[in-house]
Structure 1
Amino acid sequence: MRKLLSARRAAGTYARAVTAAAGAVALSAVLAAPAVAAHPGTQTQSATATAGTAAGPAGGPALRLPDGLAETPPMGFNNWNSTHCRAEFDHEMVKGIADIFVERGLKDAGYEYVNLDDCWALPERDADGKLVPDPERFPDGIKAVADYVHAKGLKIGIYTSAGTKTCNPAGFPGALGHEESDAMQFAEWGIDYLKYDNCNNQGVDAIERYTTMRDALKAASATTGRPIVYSICEWGQNEPWEWAADVGHLWRTTGDISDNWSSMLGIMKQNLPLAEYAGPGHWNDPDMLEVGNGGMTDTEYRTHFSMWSIMAAPLLIGSDLRTADEATFEILGNRDVIAVDQDPLGRQGTVVTSEGGRWVVAKEMADGSRAVALFNESDTPQRISTTAGAVGLPAADGYRMRDLWKHEDLNTGGGISATVPGHGTVLYRVWPGDGAGSYPPAAEVGAGSAPYVEAGGTAEVTTTFRNAGITPARDVSVGFEAPAGWQVEAESPTTAQQVPPGGTLATTWQLTAPADAATGRQEFPLTADYAAPSGEEVSLTSAAAAYVVANPPAGTTYASDWEWLEAGNGWGPVERDTSVGEQAAGDGGPLTVGGETYAKGLGVHAVSDIGFYTGGECETFSAQVGLDDETGANGSVAFEVWADGAKVAESGVVTNDEAAQPLPADVADAQTVRLVVTDGGDGVDYDHADWADAQFTC
């Protein structure tokens, strides 16, 4: 499936509906995969199949296709996420990526496939029914490029669709009805990997279409001696995890990923529940990497790479490495994290807990260790903790714990914890015993709940240094950095000569906000330094926060005229007095629900969460809620009002064919009120939701 950016929402068909959060709403359980938006020329079937098996390595999941291919998740590159069909996708790009794989050490780190996506061919076959490479993009043909890639010790992949045309509206030829001929061409060109899409399939049964190409690839391999890894890209429409292990080596479990937090998070949540289906030679594929394309922060990209690795997902780089920055290479080249993805046991990580947006995901490793991801779904720093026993490790006197992003080894008595930044992930690998006491003790530093403070006012924050190790932390020092204009004063000790195992150092700080401080959340960097008994020094970083607030206006006033404390939105920013436009601020239209237009209100896109400070001075909130008329036939959402962490009103699921409905809420005595929009349980396809005439009475 192709993500044509100009048509993504207009068509409403190129992205499978996915759950999303944008740091807005913390979910307490892994979500099941939602319904799929209809695609042109497709028909959804439900199918299962009984898979044959062959013995797998080290007692892991069995190999389903006994051909020895893809025994670990494929790693490489695919051009689509960075170039789509633009002119820069050509033979020079492909060769340039192969060069960079070698020059920057990515080949040595495990990346081997350099894959071509859609638009490599001419729109018509030749007189013999053969595929014809675009002579402008590939003047010497595909085989010449394949030979160049192979000469680098790498492999090459190609793309087509299990339909009459590929997914691009330009209409490049698909392989439906041409499977044997196309598979033979690919093998003769030296292709090592086939991505087989799902567009324009004429309603032919999915298992039939994908099995036909499997057999064609096997026949071509038998003739040419060229084995080809087979990637099934039918977007999870027909639950391929139930049947595709006998057909291909990997299968897409979701629609296309986009380069934003909402898309990445939703796809992650769809893929996580499918762990039992993955293993050597048969992998769940939550789509390619977006790391380095610019739509997320480096913190979010580290989460993306961490979670794909702990899910044993294929790692296909989607950014143009010819222009990538060093941060991108640092993330993509992290061999500690790659080792989690490529572990020969072949387990996909499973969810241990996810309460309050604090996710713990653990993966069994071939050497008996566990990889453990502590993932913070929310916008603000949170302490996330688990234990060695909870992630499946045996009891031991101590454990060695390696931070895979800091590349530091620590000891722990069994606690596995960290204060994790918003949208961040701390990734550990934990072994029982293994001379744990020879490493520095694991520790963390974090802050309590963020206080509310008026401009020019003061508030109190408590920070805590915790020693989770089996040896003392010595010469402990905690620092609290204030931005310009703020004053910070410690009211209790910031140092300790020693913090014993299980001990803490709590410090109280007095914050004074500048008189001109803007309303909203302000973060404060935290640091902690300590030494192991051996003298080895360790440094920690974290963050505290405070909310600058103003008393709410008296009387009945519109929420769109207030300053919110913070806001998360699925696509684009929250809009004042217009619908959401999904891109830059101010690109929405009039708020219109059921044919009625409203002058005031908030335009959002699910999943959304807007927080307001009411300071115990407001009695009621009210709004007319519904899906904006611009959604057409798409969309379903649910509106919720939360007061001090308790849900006080909800709309139930609202669809596009309903008029606006009133949503009143009693918010008396609440310090904060949150306006939440969820996806209605079916993903976030065009979920433009309006809080029309949203008002507080204070």
Structure 2
Amino acid sequence: MRKAAVILALVTLFAPAAATVTASPAEALGNGLAKTPPMGWNDWNAFGCGISEQLVKDTADRMVANGMKDAGYQYVNIDDCWMTHNRDSAGNLVPDPAKFPDGIKGTADYVHGKGLKLGIYESAGTATCAGYPGSLNHEQQDANSFAAWGVDYLKYDNCNNQGVPYQQRYNAMRDALARTGRPIVYSLCEWGEDSVWTWGSATGNLWRTTGDINASYGSMLSIFHSNVKLAQYAGPGGWNDPDMLEVGNGMSFTEDRSEFSLWAEMAAPLISGTDLRGATPATLSLYTDRDVIAVDQDSLGRQGTQVSSSGGLDVLAKPLSNGDVAVVLFNENGSAATISTTASAVGLPSASSYRLNNLWSHVVTGTSGSISATVPGHGSVMYRVSQGSGSSVGTTHPLVAASANRCLDVYDNQTTPGTKIELWDCGGGANQGWTPTAAGELRVYGGTQCLDAYNNQTTPETKVELWGCSGGANQRFELRPDGTIVGTQSGLCLDVAHGDQSSGNVNGAQIQLYTCNGGANQQWRLG
């Protein structure tokens, strides 16, 4: 939640200078929860106080329909402003009957009926950040209410805390939750103060390491810098929390993908902060990439560490339970740059060859040990690196556009030279099966026909078409690590025409070559 400067001043003036208690991940809170980082949604970043039962229900419906539930997202979390401004005569919190006509219990029942879990918000002070009743000195009464309502997750904020020591306030609610007997994930929204990471694992399942995020690259970058240094404190049952994901809230597609990559690499909770009811296919392509999610949810529970950082060119490495290493190459700067490391530098044992699985484009390449990519400004490339060999060359896949979740398609299954290449719902047909070759071609129909730039043209808006494979320069394409497919003759990107507009990305949309611009309509993955 947003915290006012006056609150910070009060904390500074009245909070006693107490010694902190260091807790290692081995001392994590023993409630058996959050063995991997929690995944879900929270309303605050997109709606503020505009929370309602209907919004929660609609979001739960969307999470089931859009594939997020199947991808591992569990929690539908209510933030501030859900209650009335006064407790009842018995001192209990009262859900606002206008916002929650069925109460929190009825809302929880609906969410549970969708196979999801419900989270709620409170503050470890006399009032929440928005001025509703807080839980300070009401911990057990409120914890009992949460348990009776069927709450599965508590986000516990830090506003209006009256200068009471952090650990005293947060431990009081920890103990109250435990006494209810209900399993409730406990999220410490303590703003990264009092070095919470040094004691958070004995108190909660996750703890905010920074102030609030906002939907800007600068905010995301600052929070990354703070959180990446704290890897030693995270582990199963207790996680560093760099705040909710702003993916879908206004950053560029490249920046959104970097945020999701970095959060997954840092084993951070993946809590969406956008309006999922209107999330685009491009946004959902980021939220539901299971290869990237698997890195975040890996059972080893290690947070990725910074292997190198020079001039804003970062290399992060995260060891995984099967011996692989997830590697992120992140370019903080505004212009494209080459970022390089080695298998040994990221912690892999010596081997004669390694397999690089690009977790966004799903293109597999081999290397003798060098890991390198040209990374767009504000962009990232994410690999899962393992010992062994392998390549996507010679294998047949659909090519899926991130902006539409539709496939590169030869019109109407035709085989005539000059047939239009278009966007269409993925159906598994031979007209959607593309095979990259060592020569740089994209062959279709078992290899007899190629993707071709019309008439050897090299200007933006050149259409691509079907043509017999000839070995010409206009039939050579590079599947780049950043997810683009670039014509080697033209230097232009394979592009869904008008796919950067709401009217684009429809069945039948023309595929063309266009100036590379980082848009989701120029991002492709092997299906």
TM-score, normalized by length of structure 2? 0.75
- How many angstroms does 1:474 deviate by? 3.6
Q: Residue 356 of structure 1: CA displacement?
A: 1.3
Shift of 1:47: 3.8
**1:182 aligned to 130, 142, 148, which one?**
142
* Aligned residue in 1 for 2:86: 124
Aligned to 2:128: 166
Give the secondary-structure state (helix, strand or coil) at the position aligned to 1:475: coil
After superposition, give the CA deviation of every residue in 1:33-55 in whole Å (9 maximum; x if it has no partner). xxx8876997375542143x7xx
AA in 2 matched with 1:273: K
Alpha-carbon distance in 1 for matches of 2:514, 2:325: 24
Work out which of the two has the higher radius of gyration on C-alpha atoms and give 1 or 2: 1
Corresponding position of 2:169: 209
Q: Residue 288 of structure 2 corresponds to which residue in structure 1?
A: 333
2:376 aligned with 1:428: no
Structure 1 residues 285, 42: closer, same or farther in 2, change over 3 A? farther
Give distance in 2, aligned partners of 1:395 and 1:313: 29
The alpha-carbon distance between structure 1 residues 481 and 429, as it changes in their structure 2 partners (threshold 3 A), is farther
Matched, 1:286 2:242: yes
Corresponding residue SS for 1:101: helix
Partners in 1 of 2:65 and 2:58 — Cα distance? 10
Q: Does 1:413 align with 2:368?
A: yes
State the Cα distance separating 1:288 from its structure 2 match. Answer: 0.4
- Alpha-carbon offset, residue 121 of structure 1: 0.4
Instruction: Please say if 1:84 is aligned against 2:48.
Output: yes
Q: Is 1:374 the counterpart of 2:334 in the alignment?
A: no
In 1: Cα distance, 2:77 partner to 2:137 partner: 23
* Contact 2:10 2:162 survives alignment (8 Å): no
Give the residue type in structure 2 aligned to 1:298. F
CA distance in 2, matches of 1:355, 1:38: 39
Once the two structures are TM-superposed, the CA of residue 257 in structure 1 deviates from its matched residue by 0.3
> In the aligned structure 1, how far is the partner of 2:309 from the partner of 2:458?
31
Post-superposition offset of 1:326? 1.1
AA aligned opposite 2:215: D
Structure 2 unaligned residues grouped into runs of 5+:
395-436, 442-452, 462-471, 479-487, 495-512, 518-527
Higher strand share: 1
How far 1:496 moved relative to its partner?
13
Q: Which residue matches 1:67? A: 31
Residue identity matched to 2:107 = V
1:408 to partner: Cα distance: 1.8
Give 2:178's aligned amino acid. K
**C-alpha distance in structure 2 between counterparts of 1:39 and 1:198, whole Å:** 10
Q: Deviations over 1:200-240 (max 9, x none)?
A: 0000000100001100000112xxxx211100011011111
Per the alignment, residue 199 of structure 1 pairs with 159
**Equivalent-residue separation in structure 1 for 2:173 and 2:364 (angstroms):** 47
C-alpha displacement of 1:440: 3.9
- Structure 2 Cα separation of the partners of residues 41 and 133 of structure 1: 34
Q: Which residue, 295, 303, 310 being the options, matches 2:258? A: 303
User: Which SS does the other structure have where 2:277 is aligned?
Assistant: coil
Which AA in structure 1 matches 2:340? S
Q: Which residue of 1 aligns with 2:203?
A: 247
* Structure 2 counterpart of 1:233: 189
Equivalent residues in 2 for 1:212-611, closer than 5 Å: 212-221=172-181, 226-294=182-250, 296-433=251-388, 436-437=389-390, 439-440=392-393, 474-476=438-440, 525=492
Question: Structure 1 CA distance, aligned partners of 2:232 and 2:167?
Answer: 20
**3-state SS of the aligned residue for 2:311?**
helix
Higher helix share: 2
| C-alpha distance in structure 2 between counterparts of 1:338 and 1:304, whole Å | 13
Contact 2:27 2:202 in 1 (8 A): no
Q: 2:26 aligns to what SS in structure 1?
A: coil
The equivalent of 1:115 in structure 2 is: 77
Q: Secondary structure at the match of 2:373?
A: strand
Tell whether 2:3 aligns with 1:43.
Answer: no
Contact 1:76 1:316 in 2 (8 A): yes
Partner in structure 2 of residue 134 of structure 1? 96
* 8 Å CA contact 2:10, 2:163 repeated in 1: no
1:102 equivalent among 60, 64, 67: 64
Provide, for residues 657-678 of structure 1, a one-character-per-residue CA deviation record: whole Å limited to 9, x for no partner: xxxxxxxxxxxxxxxxxxxxxx
Relative to 1, partners in 2 of residues 1:44 and 1:299: Cα closer, same or farther, differing over 3 Å? farther
Post-superposition CA distance 1:428-482 (Å, at most 9, x none): 000012xx145549xxxxxxxxxxxxxxxxxxxxxxxxxxxxxxx8425899966
Distance change (3 Å), C-alpha of 1:41 and 1:98: farther
Measured against aligned partners, the alpha-carbon deviations of 1:69-120 in whole angstroms (never above 9, x if no partner) come to 000000000000000012xx20011011111121122111100000000000
Question: AA paired with 2:362?
Answer: H
Say whether the 8 Å CA contact 2:170–2:188 is kept in structure 1. Answer: yes
Which amino acid letter does the alignment assign opposite residue 276 of structure 2? Answer: L
Other-structure match for 2:111: 149
Per the TM alignment, residue 419 of structure 1 is displaced from its structure 2 partner at its CA by: 0.5
Q: Equivalents in 2 of 1:289, 1:118: separation in Å? A: 18
Q: Is the 8 A contact 1:347 1:364 kept in 2?
A: yes
Q: Distance in 2 between matches of 1:141 and 1:496?
A: 61
- The question of whether the paired residues in 2 share the 8 Å contact of 1:475 and 1:496 is answered with no
Shift of residue 251, structure 1, vs aligned partner: 0.3
Instruction: Pick closer, same or farther for the CA change 1:244–1:481 going to 2, 3 Å.
Output: farther
SS for the counterpart of 1:62 is helix
TM-score normalised over the length of structure 1 = 0.57
Please report the RMSD computed on the Cα atoms of aligned residues, expressed in angstroms.
Answer: 3.1
Show CA shifts across 1:372-396 (max 9, x none).
0000101111011111000000111
Q: Shift in Å at residue 542 of structure 1?
A: 10
Take 1:327 and 1:42, find their aligned partners in 2: how far apart are those partners?
A: 47
Describe the shift of the 1:46–1:421 C-alpha distance in structure 2 as closer, same or farther (beyond 3 A): farther
Give aligned pairs, total: 426
Structure 2 contact 364–390 (Cα < 8 Å) conserved: no
User: For residues 237-273 of structure 1, what are the alpha-carbon distances to aligned partners after superposition, in whole Å with 9 as ceiling and x for unaligned?
Assistant: 1111111111101000000000111101100100000
- Gap change, CA 1:208 and 1:326, over 3 Å in 2: same
Instruction: Give the direction of change, closer, same or farther, for the CA distance of 1:46–1:366 in structure 2 (3 Å limit).
Output: farther
- Equivalent position SS for 1:85: coil
**Which residue identity does 2:33 align to in structure 1?**
L
**What per-residue deviation string (whole Å, max 9, x for no partner) do you get for residues 135-194 of structure 1?**
1110111000001111111111000000000011xx100000100000000000000000
The letter of the residue matching 1:265 is L
Work out whether residues 70 and 282 of structure 1, in 8 Å CA contact, stay in contact via their aligned partners in 2: yes
CA contact (8 A) 1:42 1:200 kept: no
Change (3 A) 1:193 1:496: closer
Cα gap change, 1:104/1:276 in structure 2, threshold over 3 Å: closer, same or farther? same
